[in-house]
Structure 1
């Protein structure tokens, strides 16, 4: 039995101490880790734990710290920790025993590269044949413009609120740069609204939720479809780009102020305006 001790875990290069209840090996030097986008947080945690296991901090047969302890000491959610532990189990490094802890397994050789690179090499689950045809995704299928904007209206306000809570400094810089591109386009006749869409993409990425980001990027991609482009040609008001820019400036200010309620409201106001322009009764 290995005696209880503590070790250094770091996120974003910051070293912190984690108190282990049992089965840990003492380590005095911290292992810094570089900051990455928030929606990749579980990958960062998984890679760090993998490295500690590789370095012998947690030998085979030992238990990793409880989820709650890892989450508290790393300053992350238990959901992120749990996702990291599941990723480690998928690649065969640990065994998650619900109610009994996470056991480090004996492995002949650690998977090369990151945890998620190893997970990607695993055979994916096959879809249930009964439902396979129902969940096929045709990315080339045209989505009607109203359906597209309506979906964005429901998704993006909550995404903006999450961005206000979760955006890293890198995310905020990317959002600000996209807003500057939006302003440049408006001042120089950028008719395809690339800066506008880029801003919405950067906000989606800053939410910390990869599913939101994927959905919103997919919806925005459909705004290059022939139906939506023709809708813009016929119904877009002359002053709409400037009005949208002002909406965007309020939205970005709310995100930078870390005000989720204001960010949510700003996105709602913006998309309500877009819907009124194109689909006023």
Structure 2
């Protein structure tokens, strides 16, 4: 069974890469055209996909139009009272249709006995636009729709060796790797300077996968809703809010939904800076405080 799961995983990733290569070859792209409107590629989420800070959107990352391609690199830091999360990665969008992303997350603790805690996770993502256009279909209420997948692998737990904990399975997780599947619908209402997004994610991930996948309470895929609303203050400044439902699979982690309020600044198409105030809820019963703090992300690309 494990060989079958791994086979399906790599088959899906190879299929996504083949689609990107096939699309690029068919279009015979020569150089990035930066043809999309400012901010319409979104920013980089903490999991690498284009969209908001904590949830993907149906928008394809980068500023390449349907006749070109675009890409970016990002670095993100979230700091709460007792924990920190650093994310960095790269993403590419081809023909405003296909997106491929790579990201690494590092989660750390600052309060004893978790002050030496360090958990790393790698994420590979694929997104494909399947219908609509969030920007150019202004005469229709039809949103842009995309489907995507994120393969995540947790690389173990460091800093808790004295407690005998080196793997998320020892905290009750069923596995240290898994795949999230999602569908997003995004609409930009230019006359109202408004962006609306809804995402439904099928997931078994605990705290995005940082605490593994599945658990001693639940070990099945659950549909989680995620939403975003953003107001375009002007062509370079966007403010908004996000919400992300979370599963509750582990006895040691009374997991709660994520919320944030953000401001994103796009001084040029090559650079964006996003600042947010985020509430992440409880993170394990070992420190059952409502975690909240600041989010800062820098993205550069084309």
User: TM tier, shorter chain?
Assistant: under 0.3
Larger Rg: 1
Q: Compute the TM-score of the two structures, normalised by the length of structure 1.
A: 0.25
Q: Compute the TM-score of the two structures, normalised by the length of structure 2.
A: 0.24
> Which structure is higher in helix share?
1
